């Protein structure tokens, strides 16, 4: 069976070194690297840089996916302090988002702004469309409980759409969630088709 090998980190680009969010991302990425996962991020600052530094602290491999905008003055862009082993340059913001979703086999979403919201929405939508052979989402932090509750209370959320993610609160829980998703994939594999990683 094909195991999860690459995990994409998404979250707040303005998180500063020393912030609780930055530290949490660093520790999660460190644990992911220890577990053998390659860390994928958007090549920028904040959560992206924290994930690279956390992975590197444990000898892990990192991939950054960025683009160089011409007319987007508020886009955080490439952070040269975010040291990655492989840098992929996309054509534009949409292409970058798609590449982040294509490259990772699981996604970890931390707190963030509208960019994180859009990435989460696309990943969740794809998981629903490809349900049964989708890529899993890991939502980091208790604040996600309120967000998901608001969605389920006010919008038309189908039962299977709640099965594609897990809400966790520690680096150890992240690793456990990935293992659980892998077990689910193995249990549901038929005719040599891996149900989670074929997008």
Q: What are 124-163's pLDDT values in tens digits? A: 999 999 998 899 999 999 999 999 999 999 999 999 999 9
Q: How many residues does the chain have?
A: 199
* Cβ atoms of 22 and 15 closer than 8 Å: yes
Measured on CA atoms in the order 194, 1, 54, 78, is the torsion positive or negative? negative
Alpha-carbon gap, residue 168 to 25, rounded angstroms: 13
Domains of the chain plus CATH, in order, are: 6-188 (3.40.50.450)
pLDDT, mean over the chain: 92
* The overall pTM is greater than 0.85: yes
First and final C-alpha spacing in the chain: 16
Using the predicted structure, report yes or no on whether residue 198 has a pLDDT greater than 80. no
């Amino acid at each position: 069976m094909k195991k999860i090998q690459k995990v994409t980190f998404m979250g707040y680009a303005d998180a500063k070194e020393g912030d609780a969010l930055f530290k949490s991302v660093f520790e999660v990425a460190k644990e992911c690297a220890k577990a053998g996962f390659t860390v994928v991020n958007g090549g920028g600052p904040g959560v992206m840089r924290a994930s690279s530094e956390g992975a590197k602290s444990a000898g892990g491999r990192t991939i950054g996916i960025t683009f160089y905008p011409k007319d987007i003055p508020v886009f955080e862009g490439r952070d040269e302090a975010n040291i990655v082993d492989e840098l992929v340059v996309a054509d534009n913001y949409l292409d970058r988002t798609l590449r982040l979703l294509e490259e990772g086999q699981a996604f970890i979403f931390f707190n963030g702004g509208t960019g994180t919201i859009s990435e989460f929405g696309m990943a969740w939508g794809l998981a629903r469309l490809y349900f049964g052979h989708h890529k899993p989402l890991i939502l980091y932090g208790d604040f996600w409980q309120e967000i998901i509750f608001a969605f389920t209370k006010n919008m038309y959320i189908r039962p299977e759409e709640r099965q594609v993610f897990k809400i966790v609160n520690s680096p150890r829980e992240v690793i456990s969630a990935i293992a659980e998703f892998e077990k689910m994939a193995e249990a549901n594999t038929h005719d040599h088709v891996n149900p989670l990683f074929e997008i």
